Amino acid sequence: MAKYRKLGRTSNQRKALLRNQVTQLIYHGKITTTEARAKEVRKQAEKLIALAIRERDNYETVEVDAKIPLKDKDGRRVKEVVDGKKVTQYETIKKTIKKDSPSRLHARRQILKVLYPVVEVPDTPAGRKRNTKTVDLAAMLFDDIAPKYANRNGGYTRIIKVGPRKGDAAMEVVIELV
């Protein structure tokens, strides 16, 4: 028995397809695809979720000093002249951050090795470039998805058959996070 389905593609195309579909499954919560692809996506997605569950509480909170530039009422940085040069003024504030343990950091890097970066772009054309943000899917896995499945031993995804696709009659399914 083979370890994986070839999906009629070269290895690079297959890996890219599966990475993209796993990324979209974790980001959106459900995707529609063919049955063979869904079974391969399920394997990868369940491994990532199990890894996130194992390392979800493996961090410590640390309080650090952060330098933040002072801003005026228009939102521009406040500058002062020091020795003939304009220098930005900063204020120091206390900030609480999560410091990953080495095993959680390794898990985060293993997750990011599989998932593609996701960029959220607002719908409105005004401020489209400025308000674009990148989504941290590893943090989403650790903070949102892993606690939901903490008491569950596997079976994090569900495959529901939809019916044959119109063009080529391939069996279409919806794969979703339970």
Q: pLDDT digits over 138-155, tens only? A: 999 999 999 999 999 999
Q: Map out the domains of the chain as residue ranges.
A: 11-58+101-177, 59-99
The residue-averaged pLDDT of 19-33 equals 97
Question: Residue 140 phi/psi, 5° resolution?
Answer: -65, -40
CA distance 137 to 15: 19
Task: Report the percentage of the chain scoring pLDDT > 90.
Answer: 80
Question: Residue 53 phi/psi, 5° resolution?
Answer: -65, -40
For the domain made up of 11-58+101-177, the CATH class stated in words is alpha beta
Q: pLDDT digits over 83-114, tens only? A: 889 999 999 999 999 999 999 999 999 999 99
| pLDDT at residue 168 tops 70 | yes
The residue-averaged pLDDT of 21-27 equals 97
pTM: 0.84
Cβ-contact 41, 20 below 8 angstroms: no
